Each structure stands twice: as C-alpha cells, then as structure tokens.
Amino acid sequence: MAAAALQTNIRPVKVPATFRAVSKQSPFRVRCAVASPGNKRYNITLLPGDGIGPEVVSIAKNVLRQAGSLEGVEFSFQEMPIGGAALDLVGVPLPEETISAAKESDAVLLGAIGGYKWDNNEKHLRPEKGLLQLRAALKVFANLRPATVLSQLVDASTLKREVAEGVDLMVVRELTGGIYFGEPRGIKTNENGEEVGFNTEVYAAHEIDRIARVAFETARKRRGKLCSVDKANVLEASILWRKRVTALASEYPDVELSHMYVDNAAMQLVRDPKQFDTIVTNNIFGDILSDEASMITGSIGMLPSASLSDSGPGLFEPIHGSAPDIAGQDKANPLATILSAAMLLKYGLGEEKAAKRIEDAVLVALNNGFRTGDIYSAGTKLVGCKAMGEEVLKSVDSQVPASV
C-alpha cells in the first residue's frame, strides 16, 4: 500500500510554471540539464540550507549526477533557500517559492539548517521552523533512518566492538504528527500568574495505521522483525498506538511484531543493539532514538534519511545538523548526504541501480582508507569534505555496473 507506492514512486517529469518564474528572479537556481534522447530525467530541488549544508549538498549533487549518468538518468537541479539562509534573504525560514519548487519536483535533497546567528530568533522565525513546515507541506509522514555499523568503521563506535559490530537497524519515525504538531500548544499565564508551557501528543488512528504499514513493509524487506516503541504504560496516545499496530499485525504474518516502552528501548539500544531490525515509533521518540542509534555507528556524519509521503516527492537529508563550528572549513563529512542521495534514488525515484552505485562507491572510498575527521582513526588517511567527495566520485566512475 503506502510503502509499495513509496518504493516505486516514479512520476513523469514536468517543468512547472513556478520553476520558470522562480528561476528568473532567484539567485538559487543552478542549472537545467538537457536530456539526451532515451534518458530518464528528474527535477531535483536542492535545499543546501545553513552551516555545512551547502558544502555537503554540492558534493552529493555531483555524485548524484555521475551515478545517474552511468545508468541513463539525468537530473535538473534547482537550488532554493531554506532555514537561516532564507531568513537572511527574505525574512522567513521557508519561502513560498521553496515550497512550490519542492512540491513540483521529483525529489528534494536537503543539507542542514540552523546556526548560532538565528538561535535567539522568535520561534516562528527559527530555521527549524522551516524544516517542520516543509515536512508538513510535503506531507512526508514516514521518516526512514537507517543505522548501520560498517565493518570499516566499527572502531569509531563508542560501544565495545562486540556490541557494535554487525548492527543494522532502521528507525521508522512518524514525522508529521504527535507532539511536534499537536494542538493546543503555547505558553500562557495561569490563574496564579505563573507562566505555563504546554504541548499536545495526539495521534489519530489513520496516522498510526499509515506509519505502521510503512514499518511492516520495511521490516518485511529486511529481516522480518518489527519493534513498536511507545509509552503505553503512561500515555493515552501510546495506548491507541499499540492497539492499532497490534491490529495490523495479522495482515503481516511474516513479520514478527514486538512492543517496547521507550525508556527500555533507549537502554536496549546501547545494551544490545543487534536485537533490533526495524523500529517504528512516534515523532518525538523517533527523534531521540534515531540520534542514539546513529551514535552506535560511530558518527552522526554517516547517516542518511528519507522522508516519504503517500504520493508526492520525498525529502532526503543527512540526519546530522548544520555543525556551524566547522562550517566553511572543508572539514565536514559528506557521506551522510551522499548516502541520502542514494536513498533519494532508491526510495524517491525507484532508481535502485544508480543508488547501489553510490552505496558501493562510499564503501570503496572507506575501504581505500579515506576518512574525514569525525571518523578518523590511526592508520587511515585524513581528508577534508571535498577530497572525500572526489574519492567517492572516482569510485562511482571506476565501478563495473552494479547488480541490484
């Protein structure tokens, strides 16, 4: 159902009116490729954002173009502002033009948003607001966050080798509901004259069902184990969550379903992460657990993500932030964004062969010993962001056609 559509989301390419309108006035439009006869062509919106975002997106774009060209796939890239970059340019974190461009493209690749400069902005003028608005506008309710410990990087994990080695899990996070978006919310003064902040954790049955289906489908294509994480011993929203997920299990007899409270899950993730295959959870628990899972792999700089809707374009982004402390210094690890480009090809466009080329190229660059600072260990070759990108590009080029 949803997930099946998610996996083969190939749409005809259109050049929307807004594309032309925006391109006239916007300094952000980069180029529009001319397709060779017989090639497939996709429009990709690039949202470089803030901090290290522009550095890593420009590298991922080159890798995407190269991997595509080897598989008869061409791209038109259109760069648009989001986050702090948009605040500086037009005063809002998500301009209308960015929303239209994103909606009308075939997939969206985002770098990162946020930075010290905007940290004290009012809530609606914070860069993060732009990201949340974009997720809502694209209706990307299903966020896939894989955490895989690569054998080349097992010593980068803070966990013991025997605990980290072989970890390969997927967090399926609900992304457009729950406490992030629930109403009522706000800060008010109560009857005692004291300030009170409040938010609402709310899930409708259909929101739980659709994310659960994506998770069951995901687990089915992996090792067939699904762990639903909630706080059903305390929260009503979680009680309904557990009831709906349990009810769906009969449709997926090949998937082994278990349930876990979120506090226990947080503990089990560091105690014995290999027990997990696919985890499905709500928006806020998924935010927290995916950061925790990422660290098992050694570096948050390695992990990609895909945010998918029922039908429209998906949003693909590294799960790391904008890292303003190293921005512009050629120190960032571009691999999470490069791997997000691979997810874009695989989950967003159904271009599995080109995706595999990128995944393989990343492994080759790591096998050849290249490391950015965040994953460096003695005996490996320390490189900057650009050089790592070059190594991946070289590996994309030198591969024999990958089999899927």
Query: Which residues are designated catalytic?
Result: 180, 231, 263, 287, 291
Cβ-based nearer residue to Mg ion, 277 or 287: 287
Lay out the site mask for ligand IPM across 241-280 (x = CB under 6 A, - = otherwise). Answer: ----------------------------------------
Give the phi and the psi of residue 346 in degrees, each rounded to 5. -75, -55
Lay out the site mask for Mg ion across 268-287 (x = CB under 5 A, - = otherwise). Answer: -------------------x
Residues 285-304 that bind Mg ion (CB under 5 A): 287
Task: Please pick, from the candidates 74, 128, 330, 390, the single residue that binds ligand IPM as defined by CB under 6 A.
Answer: 128
| The dihedral formed by the CA atoms of 33, 9, 181 and 279, expressed in degrees to the nearest 10 | -120
The nearest distance, CB 170 to ligand IPM, in angstroms, is 15
Instruction: Answer yes or no whether residue 131 interacts with ligand IPM by CB under 6 A.
Output: yes
Cβ-based nearer residue to ligand IPM, 43 or 297: 297
Q: At 201, list the tokens.
A: 């954790």
Return the H-helix or E-strand segment holding 116.
none
Whether 195 and 187 have beta carbons less than 8 Å apart is answered as yes
The nearest distance, CB 379 to ligand IPM, in angstroms, is 33
DSSP state of 131: H
Cβ-based nearer residue to ligand IPM, 44 or 113: 113
> CA–CA separation, 364 vs 366, rounded Å?
5
Residue 330 site contact among Mg ion, ligand IPM, none (CB < 5 to 8 Å, cut-off depends on kind):
none
Instruction: Answer yes or no whether residue 317 interacts with Mg ion by CB under 5 A.
Output: no
DSSP helix/strand/coil, 227 = strand
Whether 131 and 36 have beta carbons less than 8 Å apart is answered as no
Lookup result for tokens 């080759």: 364
Return the H-helix or E-strand segment holding 135.
helix 127-138
Cβ-based nearer residue to ligand IPM, 74 or 292: 292
The site for ligand IPM, by CB under 6 A, has a size of 4
How far from 238 is each of 144, 178, 232, CA to CA, in Å? 20, 10, 5
Looking at 38-46, 69-77, 128-136, 231-239, which segment touches ligand IPM (CB under 6 A)? 128-136
The nearest distance, CB 321 to ligand IPM, in angstroms, is 7
> CA–CA separation, 196 vs 201, rounded Å?
16
Q: At 82, list the tokens.
A: 């989001």
> CA–CA separation, 340 vs 319, rounded Å?
9
Whether 128 and 341 have beta carbons less than 8 Å apart is answered as no
Instruction: Answer yes or no whether residue 287 interacts with ligand IPM by CB under 6 A.
Output: yes
Whether 367 and 316 have beta carbons less than 8 Å apart is answered as no
The nearest distance, CB 292 to ligand IPM, in angstroms, is 12
Question: What's the chain's Rg over C-alpha atoms?
Answer: 21
Residue 131 site contact among ligand IPM, Mg ion, none (CB < 5 to 8 Å, cut-off depends on kind):
ligand IPM
Instruction: Answer yes or no whether residue 50 interacts with Mg ion by CB under 5 A.
Output: no
Cβ-based nearer residue to Mg ion, 230 or 287: 287
The nearest distance, CB 385 to Mg ion, in angstroms, is 22
> CA–CA separation, 233 vs 264, rounded Å?
12
Cβ-based nearer residue to ligand IPM, 95 or 115: 115
Q: Is 365 exposed, middle or buried (0-12, 13-18, 19+ CB in 10 A)?
A: buried
Residue 59 site contact among ligand IPM, Mg ion, none (CB < 5 to 8 Å, cut-off depends on kind):
none
The nearest distance, CB 287 to ligand IPM, in angstroms, is 4
DSSP helix/strand/coil, 272 = coil
Instruction: Answer yes or no whether residue 50 interacts with ligand IPM by CB under 6 A.
Output: no
Q: Among residues 272, 363, 365, 375, which one has the least CA distance to residue 332?
A: 375
The nearest distance, CB 291 to Mg ion, in angstroms, is 5
The site for Mg ion, by CB under 5 A, has a size of 1
Cβ-based nearer residue to ligand IPM, 154 or 175: 175
> CA–CA separation, 147 vs 318, rounded Å?
12
Residue 229 site contact among ligand IPM, Mg ion, none (CB < 5 to 8 Å, cut-off depends on kind):
none
Contact residues for ligand IPM, defined by CB under 6 A: 128, 131-132, 287
Residues that bind Mg ion (CB under 5 A): 287
